[in-house]
Structure 1
């Protein structure tokens, strides 16, 4: 009988535990080959990604790959990494989680035919401005560095006045 890897099950369990307890799940990925990650945020051959439901869209923690769409510096990007490249998954607030050795067995090369991410719901898709997830966070203040490079002038202050909230039933 073929041995089934336990790592994908542990990833899903830790992610669920973090989400259930109000923690932010962070995933560290060892980058090698042609993985689909934002290379400008890779440091030391690794990237740390916020994989919470608020920061991602269409998150799929599959048996072979982790796939989702997220916004980096306001630009939506599709992320695609093999499970073997995941080094750790932990709660940002407490540091609790698990770590593994990366397993590079040729699966780190992205398959040529990867189906595009599709929304799971049967509802019509809303306008991009409404459906856009919160900007994905990259640990250790990397987004702030990237934003500082993109913005040569000072950021504009928020509009004056009170915020507007709407009660949705």
Structure 2
């Protein structure tokens, strides 16, 4: 069996990170790219994405299978059955510290081009709340034709020289104590 014929590592990594979160008392969250194959409450979907708490306390009948993540959960007091194809999971991470893993969004087999360009390879990093996902093409053809690279939101390396510098925060007056203003 060669690497192209083997099963995806995604469901195994999701289960491993789920176990790591629960073993360390953390809350596992999954970020899901929503399309017609995903069964989630549509009223909670924003920008075709939803973040789901898959902790033991938030779900019942949780099954982390090789093809689907299935469970029952309550949304606004009503029980809902959730079914997410593994290929639509774009990240799993701990709510408390943001540590986890991001995955490339896989395209259907018919939508993947047969000849993809061969740019320099990039790797996934841990998912932190201050980061944003940037999709870049991956090397070679296949069902996972893109990888996700997380970069800091304040990436100054890509800033152009003619862009104005951000304004400097005001400096406190000398000898005066700072005070808080209560806003109601």
Residue 25 of structure 1 corresponds to which residue in structure 2?
A: 28
- Indicate the SS of the match to 2:14: helix
Where structure 2 has 5 or more consecutive residues not aligned to the other structure, the ranges are 110-184
Q: 1:69 aligns with which of 67, 72, 75?
A: 72
Q: Deviations over 1:113-138 (max 9, x none)?
A: xxxxxxxxxxxxxxxxxxxxxxxxxx
Measure, in 2, the Cα distance between the counterparts of 1:59 and 1:105: 26
Residue 89 of structure 2 corresponds to which residue in structure 1?
A: 86
Q: How high is the TM-score relative to the length of structure 1?
A: 0.61
In the TM superposition, 1:3-152 aligns within 5 A as 3-105=6-108
Superposed CA RMSD in Å reads 1.0
Q: Which stretches of structure 1, 4 residues or longer, exceed 2 Å deviation after superposition? A: none
Measure, in 2, the Cα distance between the counterparts of 1:75 and 1:35: 19
How much has 1:34 moved relative to structure 2? 3.8
Higher relative contact order (CA 8 A, sep 6+): 1
Measure, in 2, the Cα distance between the counterparts of 1:7 and 1:96: 16
Would you tell me which structure has more helix in proportion to its own residues?
Answer: 1
How much has 1:104 moved relative to structure 2? 3.3
Who wins on radius of gyration, i.e. which is larger?
A: 2
8 Å Cα contact 1:26-1:89 kept in structure 2: yes
Q: How high is the TM-score relative to the length of structure 2?
A: 0.56
- Indicate the SS of the match to 2:55: coil
How much has 1:35 moved relative to structure 2? 1.8
Q: Deviations over 1:12-40 (max 9, x none)?
A: 00000000000000000000114210000
Where structure 1 has 5 or more consecutive residues not aligned to the other structure, the ranges are 107-169
- Indicate the SS of the match to 2:11: helix
How much has 1:56 moved relative to structure 2? 0.3
Q: Deviations over 1:61-117 (max 9, x none)?
A: 0000000000000000000010000000000001000001111327xxxxxxxxxxx
Would you tell me which structure has more strand in proportion to its own residues?
Answer: 2
Aligned length: 106
